[in-house]
Amino acid sequence: MNKQNPVVELKLPVIPDIELSATKTAEVISKHMNLSEEKTGEISMAIIESCINAFEHSKTKEIFIHFIVSADKLTIKVKDQGVGFDKSKVEIPNIENKLNSDERKRGWGLQLVSALMDTVEYDSDETGTTVTMTKKREDNE
Amino acid sequence: MSDSIKNVEEISGVVVITTSGYFNNIAGDAVLEVFNQKMEEGKINFLIDMEDSKVVNSIGVSILIEVIEKLQTVDGKLAFTNLAGIVEKTFNIMGLTKYCEVYDSVDSGVDNLS
């Protein structure tokens, strides 16, 4: 492990609630980085949603999560080897549209990740998807 | 009772549902089952105490949108109490807090709903 930029890697099989093991890891890393409780919660929620998206939609058998610690931010990569998706075709959910309609109530993952993290990028094709998201470390953290 | 539901009680006409653990699809379905049962009994005001559910996912929370939808048909109310910061933020992003109040305590929630 590089002491300057520690990297933590997880490989998660598709089993119920396994995403919680990634949030436990995120909590340890956030504590190591002195990130606030608020940011730790946001990171954990973004990881949960990224894992669920991969498990539910990609048909992957496992996902890989990389936590990359640097001086000014935490970078998290959630990778699957599934079927990929076209982000431009994902509708932005709205609760008003979901209430009193036949529209399915689900489909919030991308919006939550986007709202909770500082940056989010999706790299997706038919061989898989990588979500790269960052949370900045403030000067006082 | 499901492992996801710690307690269900009625206080001053308000059904207080206390959840337990990870609020995922299983927990959401458990709340929906209790809700449906109580609504059939004529109850229309519900308070969900999430003190023991500090972690949620959007699938579980989506099921609560179904609850809101059903309560709108009977002019009922759904409210929450003891939310962890990230849970309240998730509810804000998803828009639940446009339709549901969030209270600091069970007592405060019951006082306002009853």
Is A141 inside any structural domain? no
Contacting residues of B for A98, CB less than 8 Å apart: 65
Mean pLDDT of chain A: 93
For residue B81, what are the CA distances in angstroms to A36, A64, B49?
23, 35, 5
pLDDT reading at B56 higher than 80? yes
- Where in the sequence is the domain holding A65, given as residue range(s)? 7-136
What torsion do the CA atoms of A111, A114, A120, A123 make, to the nearest 10 degrees? 0
Contacting residues of B for A100, CB less than 8 Å apart: 69, 72
CATH number (domain holding residue A87) = 3.30.565.10
What three-state secondary structure class fits B49? strand
- Residue A57, chain B, CB below 8 Å: the answer is no
Domain ranges for chain B: 5-109
Name every residue whose Cβ is closer than 8 Å to that of residue A41 and which is 6 or more positions away in sequence: B84, B85, B86, B89
pLDDT band at A141 (very low <50, low <70, confident <90, very high): confident
pLDDT band at A3 (very low <50, low <70, confident <90, very high): low
Contacting residues of A for B62, CB less than 8 Å apart: 105-108
Measure CB to CB from residue B94 to each of A20, A38, A108 and give the nearest one. A108
**Number of compact structural domains in chain A:** 1
For residues B58 and A112, the answer to whether their CB atoms sit within 8 Å is: yes
B9 vs chain A: nearest CA distance in angstroms? 27
Contact assignment for B94 to A17 by CB distance below 8 Å: no
Q: Give the model's pLDDT for residue A140.
A: 77
Q: Give the model's pLDDT for residue A101.
A: 83
Cα(A69)–Cα(A63) distance, integer angstroms: 20
Q: CA of A114: which chain B residue's CA is closest? A: B93
Contact assignment for B86 to A96 by CB distance below 8 Å: no
The topology (CATH level 3) of B5-109 is Transcription Regulator spoIIAA (3.30.750)
Contact assignment for A108 to B86 by CB distance below 8 Å: no
ipTM: 0.94
